[in-house]
Amino acid sequence: MSTCPIDTRVIRPIRFVAGQCQMLDQRLLPTEEVWHSYKTYEEIADAIRTMVVRGAPAIGVAAAIGVWFGVRDLETQSSQEFYTQLEKICEVLAATRPTAVNLFWALERMKRFAHANLDRSVLELKIGLEYEALAITQEDEMINQTMGRHGEPLIPDGARVLTHCNAGAMATAAYGTALGVIRAAVAAGKKVAVIADETRPFLQGARLTAWELQKENIPVTLICDNMAGFLMSRGEIDCVIVGADRIAANGDVANKIGTYTVAVLAKVHKIPFYVAAPVSTIDLSLADGSLIPIEERDARELTHIKDVQLAPEGIQVRNPAFDITPHDLISAIITEYGVAEGDFSTRLPQLVHQS
């Protein structure tokens, strides 16, 4: 098995150690840093479903590794049979989480590679798919750094930047999308202070964004989700930057629940609202955001924090994990191929077709 070199100074949710894939359990951060080892695609599917690993690009990376691990255990010598089995593995991985399109993008890329090489031996296909999974992992980090360079000019020196959820290193192979832009602004010598929404109910902001920015000494202040409007009304926020789980052809953005509320507030207060996402997050097959599938998660995420019950037994709960921010609330979409502003339906296909 190939291994990625480990630079322990770089925050990563997924690493390869002694021939095994390990993932940092994001449910336990920031109080415990526990790495789990994975050997099978079923285990990786479970890690995605249970949010050991989360964040759109990181889910895509994990899914690609899942395919690699799934096919390396196959015993057939027939390439056709190998492809049939690969499709079954992809179905299991695809059934984990519905909203982030990066998952399906990564599975399609793995399938496409295999399909284009069906004249090769099974051994060659296995090696090729290992390289493809590692390429998806390494490319993601480079993509985020490039996205950072494109987005950084939008962040003024001295800016106080609100972010929602975690679109950082922990949501990607490394560096992050929205937090990647902030990292790039800091690297360019700008003073940037981040305001992190706690992001109920899963608390990705309080637990992950706060943790990773603090680790890198980037100034960060935690607020509850319902405080953003007050801070905006007091002139304490200069811009907003978030990631995305899926972007429709017209620029409507699915992202963590609560993003839409922040975007409406930003519009009212005339504060720029930016989205940073790789082009693999853009789904041109969907005309607008109403067509994006929205995951509904377990009621327990709202009624409990760990084992502590907050709400009455048996209470009726809604728990949509994502919402849709309409394109007209978005000032710009930052990708690794450049920044889209204005007419997203013209610009997004141009960016996607450069990839």
Nearer to ligand MRU, 89 or 178 (CB): 178
Instruction: Please give the DSSP secondary-structure letter assigned to residue 205.
Output: I
Shortest-Cβ-distance residue relative to ligand MRU:
243
Question: Using the rule CB under 6 A, which residue among 29, 61, 86, 100 binds ligand MRU?
Answer: 100
Nearer to ligand MRU, 89 or 167 (CB): 167
Beta-strand runs (E) in the chain: 14-17, 20-24, 35-38, 160-163, 193-197, 220-223, 239-242, 246-248, 253-256, 273-276, 282-283, 304-305, 308-309, 322-325, 332-335, 338-340
Q: Minimum distance from CB of 98 to ligand MRU (Å)? A: 11
Contact 324, 292 (CB under 8 A): yes
256 binds ligand MRU (CB under 6 A): yes
Question: Using the rule CB under 6 A, which residue among 21, 24, 52, 56 binds ligand MRU?
Answer: 56
- Exposed/middle/buried for residue 250 (C-beta within 10 Å: 0-12, 13-18, 19+): middle
Nearer to ligand MRU, 41 or 202 (CB): 202
Nearer to ligand MRU, 68 or 322 (CB): 322
Using CB under 6 A as the binding rule, the residues of this chain from 305 to 344 that contact ligand MRU are 321
Does 245 qualify as catalytic in the annotation? yes
Contact 53, 59 (CB under 8 A): yes
Please report which helix (H) or strand (E) contains residue 138, including its range. Answer: helix 122-151
- Exposed/middle/buried for residue 29 (C-beta within 10 Å: 0-12, 13-18, 19+): buried
| The residue type at 4 | C
CA gap 40, 74 in Å, rounded: 11
Q: Minimum distance from CB of 169 to ligand MRU (Å)? A: 9
Q: Minimum distance from CB of 241 to ligand MRU (Å)? A: 11
Using CB under 6 A as the binding rule, the residues of this chain from 142 to 181 that contact ligand MRU are 165, 167, 171-172, 177
Residues annotated as part of the active site = 245
Query: What is the contact surface with ligand MRU in residues (CB under 6 A)?
Result: 54-57, 100, 165, 167, 171-172, 177, 204, 243-245, 255-256, 321
